[in-house]
Amino acid sequence: MLRIFLSSLKISLMTCALAMSSLAIADEKFPSRQVTLVVPQAAGGANDAIARVVAQKLSEQWGQSVIVENRPGAGGNVGTAYVAKTKNDGYTLLVNADSAQVINPFLYAKTGFDSIKDFEPVAPLAKAGYVLVANPSLPANNVSELISLAKSKPGTLSIASAGNGTLNHLIGEMLQKATDIQLLHIPYKAAAAAATDVVGGQVPLSVQSMPSSIAFIRAGKLKVLGVVNEKRLAALPDSPTIGETVAGFGATPWYGMFAPAGTPKNILLQIQNDVAKALDAKEVQDRLATLGCEPFKGTGEQLAQIVKNDLVRWAKIVKDSGAKID
């Protein structure tokens, strides 16, 4: 009898301890330690710049360190797949570009992740300006002149990108298809490296995000031939969109925050609300504007719908472009 009593007492104590532990975890204030924002692109690009602006503000709001960790590779697949497999406790989050989240699944035979099943959308973060830029020595000052120049010597003008399958690569492919020109694609390992070589004259053209090119544009080291976005950019009000010359052409890249699938709903909701608060801050809006970006406030549900819609949209664009990466 004594053995049975002691055994029952032991089980009761263990059950009580587990219950108390669960309550402690539930009551634990989030975040209680460092949070990591994984950026699956190299430093110096739009996604990296946006993540650092948001990380700084969240760190102030939370009273905890929020660090940005760059995990580039395979057009964003390496870092995105990494987050998909991390612990779903809210302490490792993905800040991703639309290119990796909704374009790569149609470009690569294997990405290492499922854009919908492996993630919980937290919130959209920002929209970025993208521009077609050239070295000042290029004898073309707008899209119309570039088309004429490219058609006069097909396949000889080169265009730099941040790598195969990146957004600026695909936008370049879209431009060629829309204008019936042929450009020689030169892939780099990062947007910053591509921009630097255009400035240096090694390559005449590139599609660049505003964060990776705005300093060169303001210094007169790059000239803007056209804005990729559907509307002119506030930072470059005198630069026409490509769509003003090529009817129907235009894209507005977005950046969003995602958590691994299965992250608790209460944590997702808190991060979503705190991100919205951060994006409302004037200093965040001002810093994003300096980068040629603008806040893109929304809910996790809205981001989920954007992902679903863009998966359909980009499936057709990639198929029509013929682009494929093994």
Q: Residue 271, Cβ neighbours under 10 Å: how many?
A: 24
191-249 pLDDT, tens digit each: 889 999 999 999 999 999 998 899 999 999 999 999 999 999 988 999 999 999 999 99
Share of the chain above pLDDT 70, in %: 91
Mean pLDDT of 18-24: 43
The radius of gyration of the chain's CA atoms, rounded to the nearest angstrom, is: 23
Burial annotation 99-122 (CB, 10 A radius, 16+ → b, else e): bbbbbbbbbbeebebebeebbbbb
| C-alpha distances out from residue 213 to 54, 145, 154, 194, Å | 20, 21, 26, 10
The predicted-structure confidence for 39-90, as pLDDT tens digits, reads as follows 999 888 889 999 999 999 999 999 999 999 999 988 899 999 999 999 999 9
Single-letter amino acid, residue 317: I
Burial (CB count within 10 angstroms: exposed 0-12, middle 13-18, buried 19+), residue 2: exposed
Helix (H, G, I), strand (E, B) or coil at 323: coil
pTM: 0.81
The answer to which of 86-90, 298-302, 313-317 has the lowest mean pLDDT is: 313-317
d(CA 257, CA 68): 13
Look at residue 186 and tell me whether its pLDDT is greater than 80.
yes
> Looking at residue 7, what is its pLDDT?
54
Please tell me the least confidently modeled range out of 162-166, 240-244, 292-296.
Answer: 162-166
pLDDT-derived band at 165, boundaries 50, 70, 90: confident
Predicted confidence (pLDDT) at residue 26 exceeds the cutoff of 50:
no
Residue 31 carries which DSSP code? P
155's tokens: 């396949």
Residue of 42, 312, 286, 323 whose CA lies nearest to 177: 323
CATH numbers and ranges of domains, the chain: 35-128+253-321 (3.40.190.150), 130-244 (3.40.190.10)
Contact (CB, 8 A) for 178 and 248: yes
**What would the pLDDT profile of 126-159 be if each residue is shown by its tens digit?**
999 999 999 999 999 999 999 999 999 999 999 9
Examine the pLDDT at 106 and tell me if it is beyond 60.
yes
